[in-house]
Structure 1
Amino acid sequence: MSEEAQAPQGATTPHDTAKPGETPRKLSRRGLLIGGGAVGLAAVAAGVAFGAASRRPAGDAAIIISNGRVWTGSPERFAEAIAIDSRGTIVAVGTEAEVRRFNGPRTQSIDAGGGTVMPGIHDSHMHSFSGAEGLYYPSLENASMSVAELQKKLQAILDKEGDDRPDNWLVVVDWNPAGLTDAVAHRRYLDALRTKRPIFLRGSDFHNGWANSRALEIAGITAATPSPEGGVIVQEADGPTGLLKDAAMWLVSGKAPELTEAQKREAHEYGFAFLAGVGITSFMDAAGPAERADAFAELSDSGVIPQRISIACGVAAEEIANADETLAAMKRVRARFAEHPRLTVGTAKVFMDGVAEYPAQTAAMLDPYLDPDGTPTDHRGELYVSEDDFAMIATKLDREGWQIHTHSIGDHAVRASLDGFEAAQRANGGARNRHTVTHIQFCSEQDLPRFAENEVIANMQAQWAAPFSFTLDALEPYVGPERHRKQYPLGSLAAEGARLAGSSDWPVDKLNPWNQVRTAVDRTGTFSETGGALSPDQGIALNDSLLMHTAGAAYQLFQDEITGAIRVGMQADVVVLDRDLFGVPIAEVSGTTVNYTLIDGEVVHDVSTQDGKRFVNRTVAAHALAAPAVVPAALPGGRHAVCCGAAHPA
């Protein structure tokens, strides 16, 4: 008897649609029925032959989820129902008749209403504290606009707040550095606003910032101020322009006051409920300080964070010179949480470069950037860590059992990462620590097969693979058509056998994991500003996209033995969706609402409750969901995306 049910013969994968002439079935959601043994067992797909569910004795289920299409993690294996025991373990996967044997007088029933039942989303690269705390800041929503339109929006915020003290900071997030339509960012445009306040605009890419003269003054930035390592203070003849790239941003934003502890707690409570509400059951917080593990542990232990947490300890370029000291500190943190039930510390994050878009152009490229007329310049970006230094630190980290996670946007940075991993493997005896390259906007064709050859995970944010301001006007003229066509090479990496892991990079982007799943397939998503696709030949199958965001990410997070798939013996980190993902047009996947989220078999999100209704995904044709659909009154400004964090969050 098999653990998982087989799909009907001839089932289409990866994306089933309605039969010709039929309209996909509209799905209704029914409430959680508790007790009484009422399990609502209705067949979903006629003619589907299922294997038996389990050899465990019947009657021991705490929860049965039925009347759904259960995507188990295999393109040829669907089921109708699952049963979960009191320990949160999946004990049955199969037909409704098979799973009915596990129904008892105390069994809770969840009716999936015909929607997809699947493993929860594993977000393997995000910045959860920055995202949650950002709910307290006003947002520009990543919109493209003219200087006049920007000034109007900012002045409205200033006028509403009223307090014009010259030390009362205005920090605004989700400024689109590639979306200023008629100018380049300059302090004079912010200085023209009717205010004495210091102003700082946080770029939605987290690699560009924009300050007015008062903010620069408070930060002590003048014409004589040198750019910090890993960043650029853009200067002109009469001093700084106010545009700050990468590490230079923190010289200014670090002067703004932090949220109070009470504000942070409220934001965390709301933010992690939001993650559950959009179906995220595990996440990796990328490149936070190692000490942040204590805060995560407290929030996990107190129930504020229901998800499984992985923490990547940031290793800054300047710390590599004192690698032994840095590693010793990281090792102490790892040991302290070795036995924590929901939190692991085992990843080291290294920034290899910046971003490719104009005006930053800090991503390290093998070939030079072009000027606006298409002529090659002498600028290739830069490696933040040299090849030799990275090979050295990678070898040390690998020897100590650390997984290495590199931020690599440009093809030079990707190659340097792969070279460093190869050096570590040669020195230490082969691949063993699931090293990962994240972002991978550009990759040389000769480096594509090296991911599979060296067992390196390709961690990608699929929602970026769409035609919008960051991939069009801010990029295409400066890289040329050939490189532009090869952005975010998901399809090529998949064809070469690379392991793919999905993530959001929230709050760099607005968070909608279902739009990530969709965009990996159609390369259009809700971000498309042209209505078309970005290099559609690089799209992957829906089943592969789902695997990338579940089992693939679970593998990266070393959770693949307990989560990331639906099969007997796995923990029930499961979501119940409002639609059959394989039965609707791919464009409708972006608008998916999560009706239930379970972690270890416990319902941590139920859309029928008042709290759960805040997280209905109302996005169908506009931008990806930025945050909960309704923001509590306690979060001033109705903030819907990100905030500034103490650590570099990309």
Structure 2
Amino acid sequence: MPIADLVFVGASVFTAGEEAPRRADVAVSDGLILAIGTAEEIGELVGAGTRVVEASGRLILPGFQDAHAHPLFAGVELLQCDLTPATDAADCLGIIGEYAAAHPEAEWIQGAGWSMEFFDGGTPTAAALDAVVSDRPVLLSNRDHHGAWVNSRAIELAGLSAHTPDPVDGRIERAADGSPSGTLHEGATNLVECLAPPLDDELAYRGLLRAQEELFALGVTSWQDAWVGAQSGLADSLDVYRRALENGDLRARVVAALWWERDRGVEQLDDMLRRRDAIAVIGAPERLRADTVKIMVDGVAENFTAAMTAPYLDGHGHPTDNSGLSFIDPAVLADAVTRIDAAGMQVHFHALGDRAVREALDALQAARDANGVTDGRHHLAHLQVVAETDVERFAELGAAANLQALWACHEAQLDELTIPFLEPRLVERHYSFGDLQRAGVRLVAGSDWPVSSADPLAAAHVAVNRVGPGSDAEPLGSAAQKLDLATALSAYTAGSAYVNHREHMTGSLAVGLAADLVVLDRDPFAGPTDRIADTRVLSTWIDGECVFERAES
């Protein structure tokens, strides 16, 4: 009879396919789940060298898997001017001023995390920044990373003026005289970003390891990085992952989604295949793969660049001539997706507006028509608005719905900068998780961290309640769009494991699978649904080794 290296006793367990937790002990040997059973059954596997973890009253789940995150950038931003703790505009300016004073050697002040709702129209001004930093250029991405706040020095260095045209994939926010006012949207951010100092390789490496620590503390054992490539002055963030893998510092399981440059054509696919193969020859696919392509189809609704089927409204409720941006011509998108699919790569779409969702699904249909059914496991992320007629197409095309569930609630950015500018019928279609579930669509889950919190339990809370943790707001949308807790947690485990092509080894609690586990301090199924987000991770395990343990309070 085998002897376990590790056993958890007195716990309950939950895995996808079950409606509720069940009482069971878990035994682990050589990094794999050896047995799940009664105390008597597991007791027979305990030997002199077995580590016994008392988990009475706790809940054990498979490790969470984030199917859409940006950990490297999140970690770097934690090490730069981090505005995520700010509560209003004045708080942002205070943090910026303190950071600049503490870093007099910095050529540029860079960071991220400001919230658009802190500022009139979601567009802060260069003048406000100049009041705290005027001697050096300042470049600060907003919380959703679809815009940037810059000061006058940065505008001057970039040579921007009232005569500078908007790029085709972005917009310069302007004062009454046409001059840049200090906010840049989407592709317009590149007009300044291209001048900023390159991201130091050591900073990027430290950022990745810091992010890994943060995710482990939230029970996340695996993720898909939704933007890997040459950007923000970094030669290629895939090299950072490769270095961490070869150094033995990459403990998590990662799928790198290689960034599709929308100003290039299908010739870039050959480069991606070479990068994919260069990672594959390392021979550690259980730790790092690079066989996904990330394509951004549109922008975001709060700056009116999400691609909608109906035009945005003005401040008086009248239709404008703007229905958002399709960053890639639909015919070009269909050709690219068909070629990517034929090459055996997965496509990970950013598709937020209903027109963008339709264009992505049309591209998948073109790939299906050309290539037949493949095992691409393509997925569409964000899905703020999905037309009712397109819901069933997901299942028909084998496309997964990648949910950022934490967004599916009333909060200032949505209520002040989005809902007033959309037709009511589009508002009613916001984050239609229930419709997708009933249509038999495979649900997966991600955070988009650092755009929003990486906490899977907070996201599950919103998926179930359609209300943010601690909020007394009304639920967003109808009760029909709510998910039950079992479905939400299954999306964050088995669902994401499936799109990561790792369901054969992770995502579920089953004998023979990797012992990637998370132990919670309570059973969220047992309490009221409005307390789900109060649940905390006690410990996180990968291959049966503890990578995070919460200190006793």
1:232 aligns with 2:171: yes
**Aligned-residue offset at 1:267:** 3.2
Paired position in structure 2 for 1:489: 432
Q: Does 1:161 align with 2:102?
A: yes
SS of the equivalent of 1:216 reads helix
Matching of residue 302 in structure 1 with residue 244 in structure 2? no
RMSD across aligned C-alpha pairs, in angstroms?
2.1
Q: Which residue of 2 is the match for residue 209 of structure 1?
A: 148
CA distance in 1, matches of 2:48, 2:91: 62
**Secondary structure of the corresponding residue to residue 317 of structure 1:** coil
Q: Mark the structure with the bigger radius of gyration.
A: 1
Q: Deviations over 1:306-354 (max 9, x none)?
A: 110101111121122xx1x311111111112223241111111111000
| 2:232 is aligned with 1:284 | no
Pairing of 1:246-325 with structure 2 (within 5 A): 246-289=186-229, 291-320=236-265, 323=266, 325=267
| Counterpart-to-counterpart distance in 2, 1:317 and 1:492 | 31
Q: How many matched pairs? A: 542
- SS of 2:417 mapped into structure 1: coil
Measured after TM superposition, the shift of residue 210 of structure 1 is 1.4
| 499, 503, 508: which one aligns with 1:560 | 503
* 2:135 aligned residue (196, 199, 211): 196
Q: Which amino acid aligns with 2:109?
A: L
Q: Deviation at 1:144?
A: 5.7
Query: What is the CA-CA distance between 1:162 and the residue it aligns to?
Result: 7.2
Match of 1:349 among 268, 273, 294: 294
- Taking the aligned partners of 2:28 and 2:45, their CA distance within structure 1 comes to 9
Deviation track 1:251-300 (CA, whole Å, cap 9, x = no partner) reads 22343334544444433332212211111111011121174333212212
**Aligned equivalents of 2:373, 2:122: Cα separation in 1:** 51
- Counterpart in 2 of 1:331? 273
1:170 aligns with 2:113: no
Match among 354, 357, 363 for residue 414 of structure 1: 357
How far off is 1:568 after superposition?
Answer: 0.9
Cα drift, residue 227 of structure 1? 2.7
CA distance in 2, matches of 1:469, 1:220: 34
**Judging changes above 3 Å, is the alpha-carbon distance between structure 1 residues 182 and 122 closer, same or farther for their aligned structure 2 residues?**
closer
Q: Distance in 2 between matches of 1:256 and 1:69?
A: 51
- Per-residue Cα deviation, 1:573-593 (whole angstroms, up to 9, x for no partner): 111111112112223221322
Q: Which has the higher helix share?
A: 2
State whether structure 2 residue 75 is matched by structure 1 residue 75.
Answer: no
Residue of structure 2 in register with 1:113 after alignment: 56
Give the whole-Å Cα distance in 2 for the aligned partners of 1:263 and 1:404. Answer: 29
Q: How many angstroms apart in 1 are the aligned matches of 2:327 and 2:517?
A: 39
Query: Could you tell me which amino acid in structure 1 is paired with residue 270 of structure 2?
Result: A
* 1:508 alignment partner, SS class: coil
- 1:519-598 alignment to 2 at 5 Å? 519-526=462-469, 528=471, 530-537=472-479, 538-598=481-541
Query: What's the secondary structure of 1:117's corresponding residue?
Result: strand
Unaligned runs of 5+ in 2: 231-235
CA shift in 2, pair 1:330/1:262, >3 Å: closer
Residues 502-521 of structure 1 aligned to structure 2 (within 5 Å): 502-521=445-464
Give the aligned partner of residue 19 of structure 1.
Answer: none
Aligned ranges for residues 614-625 of structure 1 at < 5 Å? Answer: none
More displaced stretch, 176-185 vs 431-440 = 176-185
Q: Deviations over 1:163-193 (max 9, x none)?
A: 3x8x832224211123315884232232344
Q: Identity rate of aligned residues, in percent? A: 33
Conserved? CA contact 2:121–2:417, under 8 Å: no
In structure 1, the partner of 2:8 is: 65
Shift of 1:60: 2.0
- Per the alignment, do residues 421 and 527 of structure 1 end up closer, same or farther by CA in structure 2, a change over 3 Å counting? farther
The CA deviation at 1:372 is 1.3
* Deviates further, 496-505 or 103-112: 103-112
Rounded Cα–Cα distance in structure 2 between residues aligned with 1:144 and 1:223: 32
Q: Give the 5 Å matches for 1:450-489.
A: 450-489=393-432
Query: Which sections of structure 1, spanning at least 5 residues, go unmatched?
Result: 1-56, 617-650
Cα distance in structure 2, aligned partners of 1:292 and 1:340: 18
Distance 1:150 1:85 in 2: 49
Q: Measure, in 1, the Cα distance between the counterparts of 2:262 and 2:121.
A: 36
Q: Secondary structure at the match of 1:471?
A: helix
Letter in 1 for 2:102: E
Q: CA deviation at 1:484?
A: 1.5
Q: Structure 2 vs 1, CA of residues 536 and 519 (structure 1 numbering), >3 Å: closer, same or farther?
A: farther
In 2, the alpha carbon distance for the partners of 1:162 and 1:108 equals 47
> Quick check: 1:430 aligned with 2:369?
no
How far the C-alpha of 1:490 sits from its partner, in A, is 0.8
CA distance in structure 2 between the partners assigned to 1:450 and 1:193 by the alignment? 51
> Would you say the 8 A contact 1:125–1:504 is kept in 2?
yes
Q: Counterpart of 1:318 in 2: which secondary structure? A: coil
Alpha-carbon contact 1:467-1:527 (below 8 Å) kept: no
CA contact (8 A) 2:14 2:20 kept: no
